[in-house]
Amino acid sequence: MLSTIYILWLRQIKRYIRSKSRIIGSLGQPILFLLALGYGFGPVFQQAGKGNYINFLVPGVVGMGIIFTAIFSGIEVIWDRQFGFLKETLVAPVSRYNIMVGRTLGGATVAVMQGVVVFLLSLFTGFHPVSWAVMPLVLVVMFLVAILFTALGTAIASRLEDMQGFQLIMNFLVMPLFFLSGSLFPLGESGQGVIGTIAKFDPLSYGIDAMRGLLVGGYHFGLGTDITVLSLITVVFVLIGGYLFSKIEI
């Protein structure tokens, strides 16, 4: 069991490291958001009395780097199915749930690595965390978010036959989850409105809130609530992803 999980975890990481174009390409959007929004809306944000917009924005952009990479790692199930690797894996005398867990942990590790790279790049934009001592806890939050969305990607990919539905997933699931999570704007004033209500049902909201509170101070939901909700939803999605993955027909 553990050897299977380890092998699949290691395979996901090696695939990521070897794909230099993927690493560079996946950094384009976070860097664009940091530069265009960070410096573009910074003066407006400061005039509104909200402080440094770069400090506010960075946790959201780090979250972006994580969820996009995590979802892509889950969607790789379709790619592996089309090229036959998934069949070779599934016929092995091991539990499909263990295979799913190994792939999910590998994809989540890759997503966290991507998030760390985005975080390090953000330091060159003038971002400074309130304390470096909280970084281990920030990594825990990042890993919870990564596992959640890798499992979600796996669950979705388990029901798709090819990549044609991928654009639909991006437009109607991933992008709304990101934009409605409070990554780009504070939820304080809109907490009682439509956006604030929707954000409460967006699992990414709790991950962004936890990272923002740890890195720059100030929570919307509270760290205890963030960790509890993230942990519960992560367990649910891992179970759902494992069930749907076990039903894949090859």
How far, in Å, CA of 16 to CA of 107, rounded? 9
Q: How far apart are CA 203 and CA 178, in angstroms?
A: 10
Proportion of the chain above pLDDT 90, given as a percent? 28
- Residue 214's contacts (CB-CB under 8 Å, 6 or more residues apart) are 129, 134, 137, 138, 141, 223
154-177 per-position pLDDT tens digit: 888 888 777 777 667 767 888 888
Helix (H, G, I), strand (E, B) or coil at 32: helix
Does this model's pTM top 0.75? My answer is yes
**Residue pLDDT, tens place only, 117-149:** 999 999 988 888 998 999 999 999 999 999 999
* Nearest residue to 152 (alpha-carbon basis) of 63, 75, 59: 75
The token duo for 176 is: 């709304």
Which one, of 161, 153, 143, 114, lies nearest residue 211 by Cα? 143
CA 78, 84, 86, 92: dihedral to nearest 10 degrees? 170
Do residues 127 and 54 touch, judged by C-beta distance below 8 A? yes
